[in-house]
Structure 1
Amino acid sequence: MKVSIITVCYNSEATIENTIKSVLSQTHKNIEYIIVDGNSTDNTKTIIQRYSSAIHQFISEPDKGLYDAMNKGLQLATGDIISILNSDDVYKDEQVLEQVLNRFSANTDAVYGDIVYVKRHNTSKIIRYWHAGNFKRYKMKYGWMPPHPAFFVKATIYKSYGTFNTSFKTSADYELMLRLIYKNNITLHYLPKLLVCMSDGGQGNASLKNRLKANLEDKKAWLVNGLTPPVFFRLLKPVIKIPQFLFRRKLE
C-alpha cells in the first residue's frame, strides 16, 4: 500500500530535519512525502530543500493556521493510507509504517497506537505518555480520542466524511475524530506500541494547561455534529488526561 505522510511546519529549523529523517528511514518504502510550509522565515525551507529528491510535494506559502495547512496536504495526497507527522514529531523507529500497514485489512478504516512527549533537548526524558488503549465507543463520552500523530487512516475515509473543520482553532483534530469515529462509526484497530515521539513546546504539542483552554472548543465539536455533549464533559475530558502526565513508562 502507498502511504502519504504529511508534515506541516512553520519556522521549524530546530526539529524539521529529524522529522524528515524519521520518514525517509522507514523500512516501508512506498511513501509519498508531502511537506506544507507556512512560508517560514528561518532556515526551515533551506533544510527541506536538502532532501528535495526524496520529497514528492513541497509547498511554501502563507496559510490560515495549522489545520488549513493540513487540509492543503490532504488535497495533495494520493496514497491509500494517510498519516500526519508534524515538524516536532518523529516515528519511534524504522518499522513503524511496516507494522501499522500489517494491521490494515478490508474491514479496517484506521489504525492507531501510542505516543510520547519528550524533552526537546533530552529526548530520553518523558513528559507525558499517551497510552491510547483499545477503542470502546462509550469512552468518547469521557473525552477519549486516539493520539492524532499516531492515527493512520484510509484516504477513502477523508473523501467520505471530510477533512479538518478550520473554524476550530485548537480542537479541529478532536472534532475530526469525533466525526469519523463516533458519528460515522469507522472501524479502528489498536496497535499497542509506541509509534510517535514528540518534542515538548512544538506546534503539535498540547500541555495540560493548553488542553484546558481547548476544552471550550471540544464541547463545540459535539454540537456542530448534531450530538449532545455528555453531562460534565468539560470536567471529564481534562481529568482523563492526568494519568498521561503521571505515568512515566520507559521508551521501548
Structure 2
Amino acid sequence: MDLYKPLVSIIIAVYNGGDYLEGAIKSILVQEYKNYEIIIIDGGSSDNTLEIIDLYKQDIFYTISEPDNGIYSAWNKGLKVASGDWIAFLGSDDILYPHAFQSYINYITDHPNKELLEFISSRINLVNNNLEIIDTVGKAWDWPLFKRNMITWHVGCFHSKNLFAKYGLFDEDYKVSGDYELLLRPKELLQTGYLPVTTVMMRDGGVSTRLLFKAIDETYRAKVKNKIISSSISPLLIYNNKVKLFIKMFLVRIGFIEKL
C-alpha cells in the first residue's frame, strides 16, 4: 500500500515583516514532512522583507511583491498559484512546530473519511515576542457553536483544495473576518476534522480596539450574507456585542479581569 504523501501548499502573506519572516520560513524548512511548497505574497514591503525572501529564494515555490487589498487579497493570490492537495496559511511572525505537517498527514491518513475532509484545525500556542507561552487555544469545529462565534483559529489549519473549488475564494471586502465568512458558507455541511495537537506558535501582538469593533461588524455582516441571521436583527446584535466588549475592556483596564 502506498504511503499517503499529498503536496502541502503553505501560504505566507507579509508586509514589512522583516523582523520575524525568517523565523517563519525556517520553521517550514525544518518540517519532518517534506512534500510542501512555500508561497510568499508580499504587499510591497519597504523594509528588509524582500532581502529575506531573496535569501531563501531557492526554497520558495512562488513569490510576488506588489500592493494588495489586505490579507485576504494576498491569500487569494496565493491560492491561485497553489498546487497543493492541502493548503495552510502562516502569519509572517508565526512559527510552526517541526511535527506540524506530519501530524496533520498522519491524522488524514488514519481518518475513515479522508476523501471527504475539507477543513482540519488544531491547537495553537499564543506566545509573546520572546516565544513564551501565554495561552493555548483552538477547539474542534462544531456548527452550533461556530455559527455563533469563531471557535477555530485559522493559522496553520489544513484546508482541502476542494474546499475552495466548492465554495470559492476569500471575500476581499472583509479585512479581519474573511476566514470566518468563508467557513460559514458550507454551514453544517462542512466536512471537518480536529487534530488535538499543538502545531504552531502565534505571536500575540495585541489587537487594537478599532479591529475588535471592526471584527464584530464583519462577523455579523458575514452571518447576514450567509443567511445565519436576518438583516433586521443584526444591528441589535452588533450593538449588544459592542456594549459587552466595551464593558470587558473597562474591567481589564481597572484590573477586575485579566484579559478579554
**Which bracket does the TM-score occupy, shorter chain normalised?**
0.7 to 0.9
Q: CA deviation at 1:206?
A: 4.1
**2:92, 2:148 → 1: CA distance?**
29
CA RMSD in angstroms comes to 2.5
Distance 1:58-1:186 versus aligned 2 partners, 3 A rule: same
Q: CA deviation at 1:145?
A: 3.2
Greater than 6 Å deviation, 4+ residue runs = 236-239
Instruction: Confirm or deny: 8 A CA contact 1:6 1:84 kept in the other structure.
Output: yes
Partner of residue 140 from structure 2, selected from 134, 143, 148: 134
User: One-letter code of the match for 1:90?
Assistant: I
Q: CA deviation at 1:236?
A: 6.5
Unaligned segments of structure 2, at least 5 residues: 1-5, 109-113, 250-256
The answer as to 2:224 corresponding to 1:218 is no
Q: Secondary structure at the match of 2:127?
A: strand
User: One-letter code of the match for 1:124?
Assistant: E
Matches within 5 A, 1:114-129: 114-120=123-129, 122-126=130-134, 128-129=135-136
User: One-letter code of the match for 1:137?
Assistant: W
* Structure with greater Cα Rg: 2
Instruction: Confirm or deny: 8 A CA contact 1:143 1:236 kept in the other structure.
Output: no
Q: CA deviation at 1:134?
A: 2.8
TM score, norm. by length of structure 2: 0.82
- Residue-by-residue CA offset, 1:150-198 (whole Å, 9 max, x unaligned): 3211101101101110111221111112124xx2622111111211211
**2:241, 2:86 → 1: CA distance?**
32
**1:85, 1:162 → 2: CA distance?**
20
Identify the structure with bigger relative contact order (alpha carbons < 8 Å, sequence gap 6+): 1
Partner of residue 117 from structure 2, selected from 95, 100, 108: 108
Instruction: Confirm or deny: 8 A CA contact 1:145 1:174 kept in the other structure.
Output: no
Instruction: Confirm or deny: 8 A CA contact 1:9 1:35 kept in the other structure.
Output: yes
Instruction: Confirm or deny: 8 A CA contact 1:27 1:94 kept in the other structure.
Output: yes
Unaligned segments of structure 1, at least 5 residues: 248-252
Matches within 5 A, 1:18-167: 18-91=23-96, 93-104=97-108, 105-120=114-129, 122-126=130-134, 128-130=135-137, 132-167=138-173
**1:188, 1:176 → 2: CA distance?**
14
Q: Secondary structure at the match of 2:131?
A: strand
